[in-house]
């Protein structure tokens, strides 16, 4: 059974004041066995916007849902035309100071594991090993028929061959890897199927309204259970796929630390909450940890 997509969340009442400092975060992180959960806010300094920040894409863009993708040929054409251009931007994006700080904390032993809600692969590019990509990764493609997984580069070559005169111009990248593109351009785009069975190809990411695979969810719960604390970086925690791990940590008596620009849906569970942008804040955190 698929969940209904949660696209927005309204913060109740007045904004919560900052409830701590980076020194408070550093005190807990220094003890080690910290599980990190990251969201779109950690990638904004790499040129990839978030969904819900001050300039978030949800103010002008509705992400593709699983039902629309699977149920509408035109929806798939629109997605692949836009994503064909957008993926090139994602593929060229480089890790920023926040990604490198997480990698340093992982190498230093303070961070035991990293879960990311992002599909951009930037944690792996920064050298963080064993990242659990909760929502998948745009660099892979899956066939909804035979379930074969292939590299995105392979599909890119096929789409270029099928659309030699495609002249779309990207005008804003979105966190899910697509771009703003005129509808008349979308209509000219040719979609290709699986080379094995001819089935529908989908990026190997979790669309809105689609469930995260249960084995992946259970792995994340185990990581929470094995950790001493949970550090949330750059996520509004609007969607339950990430919020559930915050709730689980809090219910287990583990401190939840949140560093994010603006309120989050998990603030009530936070032992320490810091309202900061990620790049400078994480560099400072690493300096505090020496």
Report d(CA 155, CA 141) in Å as an integer.
8
> Is the residue at 208 inside a domain?
yes
Give the pLDDT confidence score for residue 91 in this predicted structure: 84
- Interval 76-103: pLDDT, tens: 999 999 999 888 778 889 999 999 999 9
> Is the residue at 147 inside a domain?
yes
Report d(CA 187, CA 167) in Å as an integer.
12
Q: Report the Cα 215 to chain-centroid distance in Å.
A: 18
Flag whether 290 is marked binding. Answer: no
> Is the residue at 256 inside a domain?
yes
How many domains are there within the chain?
A: 1
> Is the residue at 2 inside a domain?
no
> Is the residue at 9 inside a domain?
no
Flag whether 56 is marked binding. Answer: yes
Q: Could you confirm whether 248 is annotated as catalytic?
A: no
Flag whether 143 is marked binding. Answer: yes
Q: Average pLDDT of 14-41? A: 88
Here the CATH number for the domain that contains residue 253 is 3.40.50.1220
Report d(CA 265, CA 10) in Å as an integer.
9
> Is the residue at 182 inside a domain?
yes
Confidence check: pLDDT of 115 > 70: yes
Q: Average pLDDT of 271-288? A: 94
Flag whether 284 is marked binding. Answer: no
Give the highest mean pLDDT range of 22-31, 53-62, 181-190. Answer: 22-31
Identify which of 171, 189, 285, 178 has the alpha carbon closest to the alpha carbon of residue 231: 285
In 152-211 the beta strands, taken as DSSP E runs, fall at: 201-205
Q: Which strands, in side-by-side order, build the sheet including 229-233?
A: 132-133, 111-116, 34-38, 229-233, 256-259, 272-274
Structural domain harbouring 105: 22-288
pTM reported for the whole predicted model: 0.89
Directed axis angle between helix 73-92 and helix 152-162, to 10°? Answer: 120
- Interval 140-152: pLDDT, tens: 999 999 999 999 9
Flag whether 220 is marked binding. Answer: no
Give the pLDDT confidence score for residue 228 in this predicted structure: 98
Q: Indicate the pLDDT class of residue 60, thresholds 50, 70 and 90.
A: very low
Q: Average pLDDT of 40-53? A: 82
Give the pLDDT confidence score for residue 182 in this predicted structure: 82
Flag whether 262 is marked binding. Answer: yes
Give the pLDDT confidence score for residue 92 in this predicted structure: 87
Flag whether 68 is marked binding. Answer: no
Confidence check: pLDDT of 57 > 50: no
Catalytic residue, candidates 61, 84, 135, 248: 135
Flag whether 54 is marked binding. Answer: yes
Q: Average pLDDT of 46-66? A: 65
| Percentage helix, strand, coil for the chain under 3-state DSSP, each rounded to 5 | 40, 15, 45
CB within 8 Å of 43: residues ≥ 6 apart:
50, 93, 96, 98, 99, 118, 120, 122, 175, 234
Give the pLDDT confidence score for residue 181 in this predicted structure: 83
> Is the residue at 8 inside a domain?
no
> What element of type H or E holds 256?
strand 256-259
Q: Average pLDDT of 135-139? A: 94
Give the pLDDT confidence score for residue 63 in this predicted structure: 79
User: Which residues face 113 on adjacent strands?
Assistant: 35
Give the pLDDT confidence score for residue 172 in this predicted structure: 66
Confidence check: pLDDT of 126 > 50: yes
Q: Indicate the pLDDT class of residue 51, thresholds 50, 70 and 90.
A: low
> Is the residue at 5 inside a domain?
no
């Amino acid at each position: 059974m698929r969940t209904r997509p949660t696209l927005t969340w309204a913060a109740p009442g007045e904004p919560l004041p900052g409830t701590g400092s980076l020194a408070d975060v550093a005190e807990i992180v220094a003890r080690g066995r910290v599980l990190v959960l990251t969201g779109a806010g950690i990638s904004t300094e790499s040129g990839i916007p978030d969904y819900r920040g001050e300039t978030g894409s949800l103010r002008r863009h509705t992400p593709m849902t699983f039902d629309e993708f699977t149920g509408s040929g035109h929806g798939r054409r629109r997605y692949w035309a836009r994503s064909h251009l957008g993926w090139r931007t994602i593929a060229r994006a480089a890790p920023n100071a926040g990604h490198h700080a997480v990698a340093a904390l992982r190498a230093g032993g303070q961070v035991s594991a990293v879960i990311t809600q992002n599909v951009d692969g930037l944690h792996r590019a920064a050298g963080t090993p064993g990242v659990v990509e909760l929502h998948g990764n745009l660099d892979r493609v899956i066939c909804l028929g035979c379930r074969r997984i292939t590299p995105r580069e392979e599909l890119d070559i096929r789409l270029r061959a099928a659309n030699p005169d495609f002249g779309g111009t990207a005008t804003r990248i979105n966190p899910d890897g697509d771009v703003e593109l005129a509808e008349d351009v979308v209509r000219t785009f040719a979609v290709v199927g699986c080379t094995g069975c001819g089935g529908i190809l989908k990026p190997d990411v979790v669309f809105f309204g689609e469930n995260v695979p249960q084995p992946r969810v259970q792995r994340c719960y185990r990581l929470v259970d094995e950790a001493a604390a949970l550090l949330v970086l750059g996520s509004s925690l609007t969607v339950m796929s990430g919020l559930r791990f915050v709730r689980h940590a809090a219910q287990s008596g583990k401190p939840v630390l949140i560093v994010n620009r603006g309120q989050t849906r998990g603030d009530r569970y936070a032992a320490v909450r810091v309202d900061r942008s990620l790049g400078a804040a994480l560099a400072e955190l690493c300096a505090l940890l020496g």
